[in-house]
Structure 1
Amino acid sequence: MGQFTIRDNDALVGLTGLEDLTTIDHLNVEGNRPLATLRDLGARSINITMDIRDNESLPSCEVEALVERLDWPPLMVFEENNGTGACPP
């Protein structure tokens, strides 16, 4: 998939249903206040950029966990103004 954007969705708490989305060139997740986890995103490759910002309920450890589980991490990662908190094991 080329660019995948999830933006300004006040009803989004997770990414259920995206388990089969395995390859993305550009991932943009921005301004989704209730989003608390990225665990259901099935991506194994994010080829170019990953931009995750302004998701008030999303702890930084969720972004870090996504990058760690990728077989092919992005060339550039932008992360800012997300929430704080602990991630489940």
Structure 2
Amino acid sequence: MNLHVVAEFRAAAGLEDRLRTALEAMIEPSLAEPGCLGYQPYTDPNDVGRMVLVEEWTGSDALDEHFTTPHFFHVRDVLAEILAEPMVIKRLVTA
């Protein structure tokens, strides 16, 4: 059963471009990981400081492995500097 992850982010004022750049930089290395089926950030057209990341993984093991990669550690550190509030992460499976 595939695992879908929806993560919501809000950039601090003036750091919206850094958020977008950080999330976009994760697309290619994440898609290259075994078990990653989809990885796409979206910007809220009504609120440029808000972004939503939609991911699809073959399962929780693949996602757990993602959390050990150098590109994940890098984006985690960048997000710690630029987010206005804690991110919200939802893990979803097909009912």
| Fold shared, TM-score > 0.5 on shorter chain | no
Specify the structure having the higher radius of gyration (Cα).
2
**Which one has the bigger helix percentage?**
2
Q: TM-score scaled to structure 1, two decimals?
A: 0.28
Q: TM-score scaled to structure 2, two decimals?
A: 0.27
Bigger RCO of structures 1 and 2 (CA < 8 A, at least 6 apart): 2
